[in-house]
């Protein structure tokens, strides 16, 4: 039965959250096929020469997924309260 405007969606309709569509899977296969040993050797030469473009990183993201951005921060924060209250004048 096709979707009728104004009617609620049937339960479990559509793609499940987080599932990949066909285009994403095909793009991954294509990107992985581009990353042959010859390509990687030439890429290393371009990276060493500083001539590798931004598309190089995108190809790797499509082939193997985007790396997670994580920042680990450690240290001590020192806070001293000066004792000022509302209405006090600050120089």
Which pLDDT score, from 0 to 100, does residue 11 have?
A: 82
The contacts of residue 15 (CB under 8 Å, 6+ apart) are 21
The alpha carbons of the chain give a radius of gyration, in whole angstroms, of 27
Provide the whole-model pTM. 0.44
Closest CA to 36 of 14, 73, 63: 63
Question: What is the pLDDT tens value at each position of the chain, 91 positions in all?
Answer: 677 788 888 888 777 887 778 888 888 888 888 888 888 888 889 888 988 888 888 888 888 888 888 888 888 888 777 766 666 666 5
Which pLDDT score, from 0 to 100, does residue 67 have?
A: 80
Which pLDDT score, from 0 to 100, does residue 46 have?
A: 87
């Amino acid at each position: 039965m096709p979707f009728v405007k104004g009617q609620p969606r049937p339960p479990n309709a559509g793609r499940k959250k987080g599932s990949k569509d066909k285009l994403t899977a095909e793009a991954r296969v294509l990107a992985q096929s581009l990353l042959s040993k010859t390509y990687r050797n030439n890429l290393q030469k371009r990276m060493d020469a500083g001539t590798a473009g931004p598309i190089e990183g995108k190809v790797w993201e499509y082939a193997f997924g985007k790396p997670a951005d994580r920042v680990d921060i450690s240290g001590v924060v020192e806070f001293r309260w000066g004792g000022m209250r509302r209405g006090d004048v600050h120089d």
